[in-house]
Structure 1
Amino acid sequence: MGSESVDEVLYPAAAAGVHLSALRLDGLNRIQGSASSEEQPTTSGMEKGHQEPFVIGVAGGASSGKSTVCKMIIDQLRDQRVVVVTQESFYYGLTDEELVHVHDYNFDHPDAFNTELFLSCIQNLKRGKAVDIPEYNFKTYKSVPDARKVNPSDVIILEGILVFHDSRLRDLMNMKIFVDTDVDVRLTRRIRRDTIDKGRDIKTVLDQYSKFVKPAFEDFIVPTKKYADIIIPRGGDNNVAIDLIVQHIRTKFGQHDLCKIHPNLYVIQTTYQIRGMHTIIRDAATATHDFIFYADRLIRLVVEHGLGHLPFQEKQVITPTGSVYTGVEFSKRLCGVSVIRSGESMENALRACCKGIKIGKILIHREGDNQQQLIYQNLPKDIANRHVLLLDPILGTGNSAVQAISLLLKKGVQEANIIFLNLISAPKGVHMVSKRFPRVKIVTSEIEFGLNDDFRVIPGMGKFGDRYFGTDD
């Protein structure tokens, strides 16, 4: 199926029949949440310093189930503000001459839509401005301008057969979904819809389908499938696929809300590759060697992101061609500190990124939620003069992290010089560390739901150290 192949994607959704093609979710950290509905009025304070909405494009052939998919997403996001803007609203009204030959008019051609107006409306919504959307009457074939007012929302869903056709529209989308449904099913649905809802006779519907709809699908719609991030077979009948999509969106909402509260929290940009690696290492059935392999890959990403927060200065070098290249040079006064023993799993990735880096160690005995006791420390003697990357793959209650950071401060390390790296973080731990040490940067790859009664992170990934070093049961 071309670009929708899942061979290169780790996200194990094949059982759901959902294909995750490209790894483009560029802006998933920019989601926020509130109430839902297609035309729900929203509070307007977004124009000044607003948070950009999360834009989802839903494309596919006529009667493939696009509207059903949109409705299912909205139904599951009832606690968010969601608005749907359909491409059909932007059909050009037919002229008197075109009305005479209406049965020869191709409604499935890109030129049938007022794409410039469509684009302008979505751009304004992204800027936090309310817009007036036209309405198309399929019985009179006329467009009624400014028929519906749409307010800014947290999630904007663009639905239509050709919403992926124009690159400018695609560039506005954070997630692109293609609804793929069997051709016979689509034809049956189209006959039922056009005869009942649009008052057309069956012969006219079939003639239009063979003359325009089918060729346009092959010429204009199918080629846009390659731009999809997610391909959903069976459309609205694929409940598992919808659940996976909504779960991913909800995860991003939670991360964004926490990042708004704590500006020192940094969640690395999510892709389905990252979600796939998380799925593997969170699976209790994953073998030790696979756990280590994919954990190492994730740790490397977190370390690289953390290094990006180090101070730097401009530096010029001479290239082999004799040219001058102006670049940057990062701080050389750097060390790592791992919290034994899980934190030691992150040392190899740090060494791979920073040749010859010094790494200290801290051992904290954990007993329940509150009983934390410092057992051992071995830190570089000049640590007070260094930037410190604190390594611990899981931030749970935050008690161990607070004790480790407190020790670093006692050793003379500046609070702003500490970057705390972990794979997953529970909100409670983020709150505790940020409240005590607001200048410490926290870099993580995912935010968890919370803690269970045993103070374990959920959904979590178990006892990380035991699984990584092969000492679990």
Structure 2
Amino acid sequence: MNSISLLSSGNAFDTEQMLECVQKLKCGQSVQVPIYDFKIHRRCSDTFRQVNASDVIILEGILVFHDQRVRNLMNMKIFVDTDADVRLARRIGRDTVERGRDIDSVLEQYAKFVKPAFDDFVLPSKKYADVIIPRGGDNHVAIDLIVQHIRTKLGQHDLCKIYPNVYVIQSTFQIRGMHTLIRDREISKHDFVFYSDRLIRLVVEHGLGHLPFIEKQLITPPGSVYTGVDFCKKLCGVSIVRSGESMENALRAFCKGIKIGNILIHRDADDGKQLIYEKLPKDISERHVLLLDPVLAKDK
């Protein structure tokens, strides 16, 4: 779990750099976060803190809900609500001990700037929160519920929150059982092929379920009217040589007479040219394409 908080020099938040950093973290990249010195009220020009990508990124700040672009990057928005007297007492303790200020200057800053800014800008942003925690860090029940929610989301591999075009097949005991069999180093070649083929068929069938369709009415043998759906007609498969070939039989089993093309790619080409070979249907631009590319990973 990593946290990130960005400030610019002077009196403005560096929202643009914060957006850039968060987007990189969500893409799995590490970032160099500038450090703000509260004693001199400026950003350190030559000091940075490295933040590595993680399953959970905490973006913390009093105005973190102000910009809609920042809010759109969040999977959960939490507003920690604490009594004003508690906030002031904590501020006095922090600024006098950690930032070398005297009590009079802390109170003056609070009365002239901090309290009015909170009322005008911070408190109104409370409406954007998904969860509001009263009593702050002392509310252990609320914190436990949030932690459990995050753990549940991580356990469900909720990738659709990050990649809206990704669909994850819900795991069942049958699927877990087949994964257990093919991961067993003692499994025979015949059984490995058999259960891998079953898993591939499930993936192909699930993929076909996301293709467009139209409703169709027909007359059943007893003479009643049935409203069903008509499959997508303009369809083809594209198999990535050689791994994709293991999915071709499953696709043919579901789609009679389907055309299947082939491409050969170099995933880590030094010259940047990844496509090595292609043989595709001439009218592929008019078809819906199922890209066959199973990724087989071994456990360490």
Q: TM-score, normalised by structure 1?
A: 0.36
Deviation at 1:264, TM superposition (A): 3.0
1:312 and 1:331 in contact (8 A); partners too: no
Q: Tell me if 1:148 matches 2:49.
A: yes
Task: Return 5+ residue gaps in structure 1 as ranges.
Answer: 1-81, 95-106, 268-306, 314-327, 334-354, 359-384, 388-413, 418-473
Q: TM-score, normalised by structure 2?
A: 0.55
Question: Which residue of the partner structure matches residue 191 of structure 1?
Answer: 92
When residues 243 and 140 of structure 1 are mapped into structure 2, their CA distance, relative to the original with a 3 A threshold, is same
Deviation at 1:132, TM superposition (A): 0.5
Secondary structure in 1 aligned to 2:157?
helix
Deviation at 1:91, TM superposition (A): 3.3
Task: Return 5+ residue gaps in structure 2 as ranges.
Answer: 161-166, 173-205, 219-224, 232-251, 256-300
Query: Which structure has more RCO (C-alpha within 8 Å, separation ≥ 6)?
Result: 1
Deviation at 1:226, TM superposition (A): 0.6
Q: Which runs of 4+ in 1 moved over 3 A?
A: 307-313, 330-333, 355-358, 414-417
2:31 and 2:52 in contact (8 A); partners too: yes
2:4 and 2:57 in contact (8 A); partners too: yes
Question: Which residue of the partner structure matches residue 133 of structure 1?
Answer: 33
Following the alignment from structure 2 to structure 1, what is the Cα–Cα distance between the partners of residues 83 and 43?
31
Following the alignment from structure 1 to structure 2, what is the Cα–Cα distance between the partners of residues 219 and 311?
47
| Structure 1 residues 308-457: aligned runs within 5 Å | 310=209, 313=212, 329-330=214-215
2:215 and 2:227 in contact (8 A); partners too: no
Q: Tell me if 1:83 matches 2:2.
A: yes
Question: Which residue of the partner structure matches residue 17 of structure 1?
Answer: none
Secondary structure in 1 aligned to 2:35?
strand
Letter of the aligned partner of 2:150 in structure 1? I
Question: Which residue of the partner structure matches residue 265 of structure 1?
Answer: 170
TM-align CA RMSD: 3.5
Deviation at 1:150, TM superposition (A): 1.2
Following the alignment from structure 1 to structure 2, what is the Cα–Cα distance between the partners of residues 242 and 134?
29
Question: Which residue of the partner structure matches residue 453 of structure 1?
Answer: none
Secondary structure in 1 aligned to 2:110?
helix
CA offsets, 1:335-385, max 9 Å, x none? xxxxxxxxxxxxxxxxxxxx9789xxxxxxxxxxxxxxxxxxxxxxxxxx9
Following the alignment from structure 1 to structure 2, what is the Cα–Cα distance between the partners of residues 187 and 172?
31
Indicate the percent of aligned positions where both proteins have the same amino acid: 56
Deviation at 1:308, TM superposition (A): 11
CA offsets, 1:287-324, max 9 Å, x none? xxxxxxxxxxxxxxxxxxxx9974665xxxxxxxxxxx
2:5 and 2:61 in contact (8 A); partners too: yes
Deviation at 1:113, TM superposition (A): 1.4
Letter of the aligned partner of 1:83 in structure 2? N
- The count of residues paired between Structure 1 and Structure 2 equals 189
Q: Computing the radius of gyration over CA atoms, which structure comes out larger, 1 or 2?
A: 2
2:217 and 2:227 in contact (8 A); partners too: no
Q: Which of 9, 14, 22 is matched with 1:122 structurally?
A: 22
Question: Which residue of the partner structure matches residue 113 of structure 1?
Answer: 13
Following the alignment from structure 1 to structure 2, what is the Cα–Cα distance between the partners of residues 126 and 194?
33
Following the alignment from structure 1 to structure 2, what is the Cα–Cα distance between the partners of residues 311 and 116?
37
Following the alignment from structure 2 to structure 1, what is the Cα–Cα distance between the partners of residues 100 and 215?
68
Deviation at 1:266, TM superposition (A): 7.8
1:83 and 1:156 in contact (8 A); partners too: yes
Q: Tell me if 1:173 matches 2:92.
A: no
Following the alignment from structure 1 to structure 2, what is the Cα–Cα distance between the partners of residues 243 and 161?
22
When residues 188 and 331 of structure 1 are mapped into structure 2, their CA distance, relative to the original with a 3 A threshold, is farther
CA offsets, 1:168-215, max 9 Å, x none? 111100100000111111111111111111111111111111100011
Secondary structure in 2 aligned to 1:256?
coil
Following the alignment from structure 1 to structure 2, what is the Cα–Cα distance between the partners of residues 245 and 266?
24
Secondary structure in 2 aligned to 1:214?
helix
Question: Which residue of the partner structure matches residue 102 of structure 2?
Answer: 201
Deviation at 1:240, TM superposition (A): 0.3
Following the alignment from structure 2 to structure 1, what is the Cα–Cα distance between the partners of residues 134 and 254?
49
When residues 148 and 415 of structure 1 are mapped into structure 2, their CA distance, relative to the original with a 3 A threshold, is same
Deviation at 1:415, TM superposition (A): 9.3
1:139 and 1:198 in contact (8 A); partners too: yes
